[in-house]
Structure 1
Amino acid sequence: MSTPTTTVRPMGNAVRQGLRRGGRELHQTATTRQDLISNLVWLVGLLAPLYTLRDNDLAGTGMSVAGFLLPSMMSMCVAFNGMLGLTQQLIAERQDGTLLRLKALPHGMPSYLIGKIVNVAGIVLIACAAVTFLGIAMLPDVSAGDTGIWLGLAWVLPLGLLALLPVGAILGSLIDSPRNIGLVMVPMFALASVSGIFYPASQLPVWLQHVAEVFPLYWLGLAARAALLPDSAVAAEIGESWRHWETVGVLGLWAVAGLLLAPAVLRRAARRESGSTMAGRREEALKRSV
């Protein structure tokens, strides 16, 4: 009969291995010029509209259009560069045989997943910090001295990442080819359009509001707006409330469910990997290149 000590020890080893793996990958990304550029070049696309709209006032709010867009940019950063970034990495590493090799290692799957979450989360947090600091520098209605901004972001970004990154891992375990990533991109843009990212969700039909409230992207965007926008902006939200406790509850549920489900889905994907599967993929790739 196993004791609590023997049960906990393997999980502790997996966590330590995952943290070390994620730290090494993050260091490699941060110190490799090509990797750094490929991960941060999209910041230009995010910041360009903030710069061009910095002098345009949003009617009836007393703030600029760019200031209103800043939390939306940050939410999109977490969703697309975090969740979808992890999805793309897992698809690529299934293709190159990484999961096949991990099957033979002790604690291979859990430590791999933890490492990927640490790596991608680190990249996203660096990008969000850059967006925030540059947004503050160019927007007069966002102040670096407002402690509410930093306190709000300090809890919503980690919780949002924990809610979304396991979903990215699950999608990366289920999608067989990088060519099928569009199957995720299109629904993600549709979900963003009803989640208050581009315009207030309170203006949508009630049934669409309820659909948006099921998914973590809406709550991430709501919390980001609560942190970065003035209190008067709450009038545009559903129920005219920032709903902090509901945000913590929904994001927390997604995080717990994802962290419990993702390792099982990843192990199932690894079991399907074999030498013959890898050979078949190489043959298909050669046929497409001819």
Structure 2
Amino acid sequence: MTMRIVRLGLSRGLVEMRQTLTNGFDVFGYLLPALLLVGTLLLMRDDTIPGTDFSLGAHSLVGSLGMLTAIGGVMTTAQYLAMDREDGTLLRAKATPNGMTGYLIGKIVLVAGVTVIGCVFVLVPGMFLVDGLRLDMAGLLTLLWLAPLAFLATMPLGAVLGSLFDSARTVSVLMLPIIGVTAVSGIFYPITAMPGWLQGVAQMFPMYWLGLGLRSALLPGSLVVAELGDSWRHLETFAVLGVWSVIGLALAPGILRRMARRESGSAVAARRERALSRVTV
């Protein structure tokens, strides 16, 4: 039964990804942040980190990949959930046996797919625009376990947060706190330069460990001196992201099921009425 639910969720996610990638408006929305980041890399391709001869563009490129993954995992998942709640998709999933678990798996596949596409559109041109990136076999192996764990650690969190909102418009209030947590997680600025208490807070969230893993995979080993303990801490990264993944996947389906129990045809119709009234005003 479990494998059947997983297969149905994977199939659902692949179908939704094919649909969104054939929608020009959706594709533009996915690629616009990537294009803006590539433009930024183009402007700083000749700059270096102050006090070093290392490319500022290379460090920013890795930070951009971390930001896209973290924001995509949390915010995109929350937005999809709110949209599906608003248009009745969640209500239909509720009526299907084990539908909420399959729904969550499908959303993980969808969000992971579009996020990876966005990251590729930044990474590929970025490798030609900036110097200093390291992409060897060890780095590739790190990415193979890091990427799935990063998505599993952030997407259920996005689903839980998205369950608090009943429309995609209101989900936008999450953007500022998520960007705040991402900013203090060392993705763009070395965490060692931050106050000790802030370092502790940052390490509680998966964003810090995601950024650390990406830096270990894509930047030269000599830059490890900028990290806490002068170490990439792969074991700790795997453990923390694994704990976030297990907790999220254990809690998110139950939270979504409880949320779905409150859904009804009348509630969906009322939200549609409100949405239409905002459009016509």
More deviation, 192-201/248-257:
192-201
Aligned to 1:235: 225
Counterparts of residues 108-257 of structure 1 (less than 5 Å): 108-142=99-133, 146-257=136-247
Structure 1: how far apart are the matches of 2:100 and 2:243? 22
Superposition deviation, residue 34 in structure 1: 3.0
Q: Judging changes above 3 Å, is the alpha-carbon distance between structure 1 residues 139 and 147 closer, same or farther for their aligned structure 2 residues?
A: farther
Aligned to 1:3: none
- For these two proteins, the number of residue pairs brought into alignment is 280
Aligned to 1:5: none
Amino acid across the alignment from 2:43: T
Structure 1: how far apart are the matches of 2:193 and 2:48? 20
Structure 1: how far apart are the matches of 2:115 and 2:245? 17
Structure 1: how far apart are the matches of 2:19 and 2:171? 25
Aligned residue for 1:63, secondary structure, equals coil
Aligned to 1:74: 65
- Structure 1: unaligned runs, 5 residues or longer: 1-8
Structure 1 vs Structure 2: percent identity of aligned residues? 48
Aligned residue for 1:174, secondary structure, equals coil
Structure 2: how far apart are the matches of 1:245 and 1:202? 19
- Measured against aligned partners, the alpha-carbon deviations of 1:198-222 in whole angstroms (never above 9, x if no partner) come to 2111111111100000000000001
Q: Does the 8 A contact of 2:134 with 2:219 survive in 1?
A: no
- Measured against aligned partners, the alpha-carbon deviations of 1:234-281 in whole angstroms (never above 9, x if no partner) come to 111122211111100000000010011110111111111112212321
Aligned residue for 1:58, secondary structure, equals coil
Structure 2: how far apart are the matches of 1:237 and 1:18? 38
Q: Does the 8 A contact of 1:61 with 1:232 survive in 2?
A: no
- Measured against aligned partners, the alpha-carbon deviations of 1:70-124 in whole angstroms (never above 9, x if no partner) come to 1110111111123211110110110001111122212211111111111111111
Q: Tell me the TM-score normalized by structure 1.
A: 0.91
Over 4 Å off, 4+ runs? none
- Structure 2: unaligned runs, 5 residues or longer: none
Q: Tell me the TM-score normalized by structure 2.
A: 0.94
Corresponding position: 1:267 with 2:257: yes
